[in-house]
């Protein structure tokens, strides 16, 4: 008599392996702050109706205002009774003039 086969034992399935917790990425270093370059003193030579002047600017705001004034100043007065007077404030104090013949920027 043949022996009855025993049902095969159920195969043990491997338990799903637990994944190791993901490693946290290293914190990114903040980019270094950009440092604005410091304004280097600038010397400007002016030849105006009041004479020759050498102006020194150590402040960028004063320099930009002076360049704007210089570029808008007329070369001739055209004989107006009350010509506009341009004033530039620099390290040596204010300078007022009516006409500007020539200018040169020196670094």
Q: Rounded distance, CA 36 to CA 38, Å?
A: 6
Locus of tokens 């150590």: 58
pLDDT band at 39 (very low <50, low <70, confident <90, very high): confident
67: left (phi over 0), alpha (psi -120 to 50) or beta: alpha
Query: For residue 12, is pLDDT > 70?
Result: no
HSE, side-chain direction, 13 A CA sphere, residue 45: 5
66 token code pair: 């002076």
**pLDDT tens by residue, 78-102:** 887 888 899 999 999 999 999 999 9
Query: For residue 65, is pLDDT > 90?
Result: yes
């Amino acid at each position: 008599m043949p022996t009855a086969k025993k049902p095969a034992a159920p195969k043990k399935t491997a338990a799903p392996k637990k994944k190791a917790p993901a490693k946290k990425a290293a914190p990114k270093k903040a980019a270094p702050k950009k440092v604005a370059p410091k304004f280097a003193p600038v010397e400007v030579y002016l030849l105006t109706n009041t004479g020759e002047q050498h102006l020194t600017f150590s402040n960028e705001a004063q320099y930009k205002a002076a360049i704007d004034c210089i570029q808008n100043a007329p070369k001739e007065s055209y004989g107006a009774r009350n010509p506009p007077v341009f004033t530039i404030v620099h390290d040596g104090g204010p300078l007022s003039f009516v006409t500007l013949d020539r200018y040169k920027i020196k670094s």
